[in-house]
């Protein structure tokens, strides 16, 4: 009867071990499957001795400790990878921000260059207009000078005409006087 009680305890422990293994398998994936198969392989057959039955919980505890250690190591590795990924993301964001700032400066410089080009174009358009206006002014000045010359010429002609008229009058008087004298 005592043997039967030990066997029923062993079966209960094996059932608990199988449930724990299943739970670990669910939580740890393929790694848990590997260790659970090792536990199953290390389990004694139902007809095993008392020594094998006492070793099974110890083996299970060792495997459980190994799983815990491996899980902690994997968690640390994952934390390190996440930390590195975060740092890389921060670096990428910093570079993107610097690139955006550089692009903004470049854009502002392009806008200033465009404004300068437009202003130069306007000045170039105004310059021919100014030249045209200057030509008009020069032409007006030439016309005014020509008009002044015409007036001066007219005045000189008028004066010459008056002098000619005076001389004609003098000549006529002289002719009249001469004809009177010789008559």
Q: Residue 55's domain spans which residues?
A: 2-82
Residue 17: closest CA among 54, 61, 47: 61
Tokens of 20: 């724990």
Residue 110 has pLDDT above 60, yes or no: yes
Residue 164 in domain: no
Residue 100 in domain: no
Residue 67 has pLDDT above 80, yes or no: yes
- Contact of 56 with 13, CB cutoff 8 Å: yes
Residue 180 in domain: no
pLDDT in tens, 131-162: 777 888 888 888 888 888 888 878 887 887 78
Which region, left, alpha or beta, applies to residue 29 given φ > 0 means left and ψ of -120 to 50 means alpha?
Answer: left
Q: Kindly tell me the number of DSSP H helices and DSSP E strands found in the chain.
A: 3, 0
pLDDT in tens, 89-100: 888 888 888 888
Give the CA distances from residue 77 to residues 70, 71, 95, in Å, rounded to whole numbers and listed in that order.
10, 10, 27
Residue 87 in domain: no
Whole-number pLDDT of residue 127: 67
Does the pTM of the predicted model rise above 0.85? no
Residue 90 in domain: no
Residue 74 has pLDDT above 70, yes or no: yes
Q: How many domains does the chain have?
A: 1
Residue 130 in domain: no
Residue 165 in domain: no
Residue 43 in domain: yes
Stronger pLDDT, 108 or 125, i.e. the higher one: 108
Stronger pLDDT, 49 or 53, i.e. the higher one: 53
- Average pLDDT over the chain reads 75
């Amino acid at each position: 009867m005592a043997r039967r009680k030990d066997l029923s305890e062993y079966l209960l422990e094996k059932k608990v071990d199988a449930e724990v293994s299943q739970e670990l398998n669910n939580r740890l994936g393929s790694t848990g499957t590997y260790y659970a198969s090792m536990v199953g392989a290390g389990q004694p057959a139902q007809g095993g001795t008392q020594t094998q039955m006492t070793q099974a919980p110890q083996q299970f505890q060792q495997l459980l400790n190994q799983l815990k250690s491996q899980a902690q190591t994997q968690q640390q590795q994952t934390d390190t990878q996440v930390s590195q990924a975060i740092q890389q993301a921060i670096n990428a964001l910093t570079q993107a921000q610097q690139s955006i700032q550089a692009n903004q400066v470049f854009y502002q410089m392009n806008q200033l260059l465009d404004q300068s080009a437009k202003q130069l174009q306007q000045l170039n358009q105004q310059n021919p207009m100014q030249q045209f206006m200057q030509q008009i002014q020069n032409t007006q000045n030439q016309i005014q000078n020509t008009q002044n010359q015409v007036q001066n010429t007219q005045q000189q002609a008028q004066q010459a005409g008056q002098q000619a008229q005076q001389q004609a009058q003098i000549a006529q008087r002289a002719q009249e006087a001469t004809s009177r004298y010789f008559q």
